[in-house]
Every structure is written in C-alpha cells, then in structure tokens.
A = this chain, B = another copy of it.
Amino acid sequence: MDRLINDFQVSCKNCNLDKICLPRGLSKNEIDDLSIVVRTNSVLQKGESIYRQGDDFKSIVAIKSGSAKLVTNDGQGNEHILNVLLPGELIGFDGMYKNHYTCSAIALEVISYCELPVSHFDELCQKIPGINRELFKHSSETINTIHSQVVCSNYTAEEKLAKFLINLSDRLKARGFSADEFNLPLTRQEMGEHLGMTLETVSRMLKSFQEKRMICVDRKYIQIKDQQSLRNIFNDSNSE
C-alpha cells in the first residue's frame, strides 16, 4: 500500500506547476535532482500555518494547491497581510536573513505544499548551478512583487481594489483557472488588511464596481464583466 502511494506521489518531475514553480527554468536532469530532496504532500486545513513569524528558517516552501496568506505582525498587534499566495508561488526567502521567518504563512483553505529543506539548500545550490540561479530569480520575483505593493500603497481605495482584482485574475489565469469568475480567497476584513483600507471601504468599492457594471459580486464569488474598465481605473488615473 505504501509502495502504491509512493509510485503515484507527485514530485517536481511530474508536477503540473512546472512552468510556474521552481522547476520553470530547469532542465530535465536538474528537475530530477531537485525531485530527490523536495518534500511533497504536506496538507493543512484552513487556518493552520506552514510556518509562523519567529520560527527558525527551515525551508523554502512552494504552494502546491489551494491558497494561503502571508501575514506579519508589527509588534503592536497590528496585522498586515503582505500577500495572497497561489499554487506555484515560493515563500520563505524572508527567513534567510536572520534564520527565522519574519512573517506567518497561513492556509486560507485546505492546501498542500512542498518544501526544499534548508538542510539540502546549500548542497543543492553547489551541485546544480541552474537551481541556484533559479532560486535567486524567485527571490528577486518576491522583491518585485513587494515593490509593486509599495507603489500601490498610495493609490486610492478604488485603484487599489481594481488592481487587486486584476492581479488576482491574471494570476489565476496563468494557473489555468478562469480569469473572469472566481472566489475571493479573503474576507472583506482581510482584503482591507492587505490593501490598507477598512473592511467597510472594501465593501463600498465592490458595490461601486458592481453599479458600474464592471463586476458582479455575490459575497466571495466574483464575476468580472469588464476587464478593461477595471484596468483603466489604475492605468488612466495617473497618466498625462
């Protein structure tokens, strides 16, 4: 029975996220080497955490299925959601600096994830230059993601929310999901904590988009009816 499961076990070589996740830039041989040390098939329930702020850095993590949130606590109980994580996204680079994570990764639904343990990290980087370079690229991607969040922080509430919806739509599309029809992984409260506004403002803005026939909202279920108008909200406004 154990054997049977192992035979069917997903590893990097037969993972469908190979165009998004760590293997994306790697050759077949490199992926084989990677597969040996990556731990797969960890499953968490909603609300459980992959790691918590302050934990010792133990691995670079890739979301395999489901969604998660990256949360940080600024010492005074003030929570901020740094990012929403979708399948194929790598997290944990923040933990390398001082060898402990500076934010918590919490499941927003049932998730599965894979890990590249720190115990094999250096070894793998030395052995396979391609993986080393790819890890740097993912770390760099993380930096770019946060940079764009910093830039968005002085957008208006309307611009922020439009950007959030389009960004989510684009990322879902890249993973083979519908770009125009999806469930929000966050509550209004959490969207507020992510975008820097109150939950009331989130609610009002969603309603406003609906009144403008850009989206249809039913609680967490969103249908995007007019992608372009939504994009124009944050593209037009600052131009000329």
Residues of B within 8 A of A237 (CB): 76
Per-residue CB contact flags for chain A residues 118-141 toward chain B (1 = under 8 Å, else 0) read: 000010011001001101110111
CB pair B76 A141 closer than 8 Å: no
Number of copies: 2
Residues of B within 8 A of A63 (CB): none
Q: Does A154 contact B (CB under 8 A)?
A: yes
**A197 CB, nearest partner CB in chain B, Å:** 8
Beyond A93-B143, A102-B147, 4 additional pairs, beta carbon < 8 A: A96-B137, A97-B144, A122-B129, A150-B150
CB pair B140 A97 closer than 8 Å: yes
Per-residue CB contact flags for chain A residues 220-240 toward chain B (1 = under 8 Å, else 0) read: 000000000000000101111
Residues of A within 8 A of B (CB): 72, 74-78, 80, 82, 93-97, 102-103, 122, 125-126, 129, 132-133, 135-137, 139-144, 146-151, 153-154, 196, 235, 237-240
A240 CA / B129 CA spacing, docked (Å):
49
Residues of B within 8 A of A77 (CB): 238-240
CB pair A122 B126 closer than 8 Å: no
Known contacts A125-B129, A237-B76, A239-B76: A146-B150 contact under CB 8 Å: yes
**Central interface residue in A75, A102, A140, by most chain B CB within 10 Å:** A140
Instruction: Sample 21 A-B pairs with CB under 8 A, ordered by A number.
Output: A72-B151, A74-B151, A74-B238, A76-B235, A77-B240, A78-B238, A80-B150, A93-B140, A94-B144, A96-B136, A96-B139, A97-B143, A102-B144, A122-B129, A122-B132, A125-B129, A126-B126, A135-B136, A136-B139, A146-B150, A150-B150
**A228 CB, nearest partner CB in chain B, Å:** 16
CB pair A139 B238 closer than 8 Å: no
A148 CA / B136 CA spacing, docked (Å):
21
Known contacts A139-B136, A196-B154: A94-B239 contact under CB 8 Å: no
Residues of B within 8 A of A235 (CB): 75-76
Residues of B within 8 A of A129 (CB): 122, 125-126
Residues of B within 8 A of A96 (CB): 136-137, 139-140
CB pair A147 B238 closer than 8 Å: no
**Central interface residue in A129, A147, A149, A237, by most chain B CB within 10 Å:** A147
